Chain A
């Protein structure tokens, strides 16, 4: 098989309910499959764990974003009021930090929110206009009412015949080959 242009990208098994999909994903993980993906029209509890997804870096990214935003916001005001443009107002301290809190807070929230969204989009590898899985005709229902397990050709345990047999054993509603 050509490594860069596989003729068969993988197998896509469709299920009717989220419970069947979680069950199938667990069994595929037990069978040694690692490069697989589960597609559902809504978040399904336990599905990400079932396909072996552990590292969710979003919280760390948001925390860092917020921290930088807050420090940056306060730093900007400090620089403006104390270093770059000191202005004595009624003998009050130049670093009048209580007055800087609202802007610092807004900058924290803004940076944290932007990092949550941008982090989520980039870690998910979006925007991605083309993906072979869209070629399977029944995949159109993955966004409305069907649940899919997808095993990729580059999985170490993948075998054109055996994997198909394994998936058939899970009693899917549909089973099809995905070609790029």
Chain B
């Protein structure tokens, strides 16, 4: 808000609007709730959901086969005992981080452009964390006793080892999943009330009514609600930083060349935000086209997200550079070999250079205004980053494990068809949940959009003495 004003005053240039022109309370409510409350399905939705649901079946098959045969069906071997399970765990958790960043941190920073993407990004967080959480559990070999990781009074008289980052992880990820769910649900309550009041079908009315818990939008309710929401945002902010920091401890605490570095926590967090924003763009660009939401997810949103991606991408690049520098400067022969010789020129060099291309070279296109404005180019760049961040985790996990200290113990890692099928399967789970979400729940916060409309009207009223005229929700300052 303040920024926008300054830009306008200083440069005199017109800032792109964060909401399309001509919206008022009624139109915002109708436009967003119509997506959910209309009968039938859009063709694009059906095709997309069918494809994702097919992948979800692949997930079920992979899990059943895994439970029947054990983790031996994966390509794991003795030095490389982490493989895809941990690569994909870290990848999914990272994707989740953008949701929390958008909804919590940008809320605290009063960036009102976040409003139309936060709900969507929070849902993405929730589903990504669900996918992430499945990997360590399936990786246990005996997933049905996963609750042994939790401290509970048990007949074995055992405690988890609280000094281990792997136990930190259990607490971090489960707290993160719970807080994300709470944050998402709290945000949904007033909107569920709206849907309850607007739904025509009896079953929909009852179901949304249950979700809304009898919300009446009373001023006392709103007052407590806003306080609780703001405090949740304040709690989620350090939480999101802690989660990927702790994930990076899984590596950094281990005395393994290529893992044992202090740069890991900050560059993991930056990488998570980088990957997460790429995923938000990957999903938001097609969604806004299919549902005609260009008025709410405007070009300015895409532009801002592209800039966040560029910034975090540069932090990630700095992380790689520091890793290389310290490997050279530190003169530890194992680290020197791992980072300066094995990764760029060893057996996984194709993955390594792919990662450099996708994470460092291609994102530099975002300096060019055209690439941030053209949705197809932007979508392709975000896809490249999704791939690049996956390759980064592959390189970190696999190269360091497959060739550590003694060459006699080295072993090459090749993922099997079951590794790939489970990976594709979780993508199916994630996309199916996303498709269901945009169909049955408001993908954009109706309440917050109304606040935005009100604010914009107010601002205009002050600036041009137009009073409280409705139907002029244009923030373009034209």
Contact = CB atoms under 8 A, between A and B. Distances in A.
Contacts of A6: none
Interface stretch (A107-115, A158-166, A169-177): A107-115
B228 A58 contact: yes
Contact of A43 (B24, B25, B226, B470): B226
A63 to B, nearest CB: 9
Interface residues of A, number: 64
A102 B224 contact: no
Interface in A25-70: 25, 37-44, 47-48, 50-51, 53, 56, 58-59, 62, 66
Given A48-B222, A56-B223, A106-B175, A127 B162 contact: no
B218 interface: yes
B182 interface: yes
B313 interface: no
B214 A126 contact: yes
Interface string B177-211: 01100110110001001101110000000000100
A113 B29 contact: no
A103 B175 CA distance: 10
A165 B183 CA distance: 43
Contact of A126 (B163, B185, B194, B215): B215
Nearest to A150: B218
B82 interface: no
Interface stretch (B164-172, B270-278, B370-378): B164-172
Given A43-B222, A102-B172, A128 B213 contact: yes
B25 A142 contact: no
B224 A40 contact: no
Contact of A129 (B168, B214, B246, B470): B214
A6 to B, nearest CB: 18
B10 interface: no
B333 interface: no
A99 interface: yes
A116 B228 contact: yes
A51 B159 CA distance: 52
B457 to A, nearest CB: 9
B294 interface: no
A102 B335 CA distance: 27
B454 interface: yes
B194 A144 contact: yes
A84 B194 contact: no
Contact of B220 (A37, A42, A119): A37
Contact of A58 (B197, B231, B235): B231
A86 B219 CA distance: 53
Interface in B309-367: none
A120 B217 contact: no
B454 A18 contact: yes
B309 to A, nearest CB: 27
A130 B210 CA distance: 11
Given A38-B219, A44-B219, A53-B219, A117 B172 contact: no
B464 interface: no
B436 to A, nearest CB: 23
A41 B221 contact: no
Contacts of B451: 42-43
A145 B171 contact: no
Interface of B: 24-26, 29-30, 151, 157-159, 162-163, 165, 167-168, 171-172, 175, 178-179, 182-183, 185-186, 190, 193-194, 196-198, 209, 213-228, 231-232, 235-236, 238-239, 242, 246, 249, 446-448, 450-451, 454, 468, 470
A-B complex: 8 closest residue pairs judged by Cβ atoms: A128-B214, A127-B213, A145-B25, A120-B228, A48-B223, A144-B29, A99-B163, A106-B171
Given A42-B448, A85-B158, 15 more contacts: A41-B450, A47-B219, A51-B219, A53-B219, A76-B151, A81-B159, A81-B163, A106-B242, A109-B175, A110-B179, A113-B232, A116-B235, A126-B221, A141-B197, A143-B217
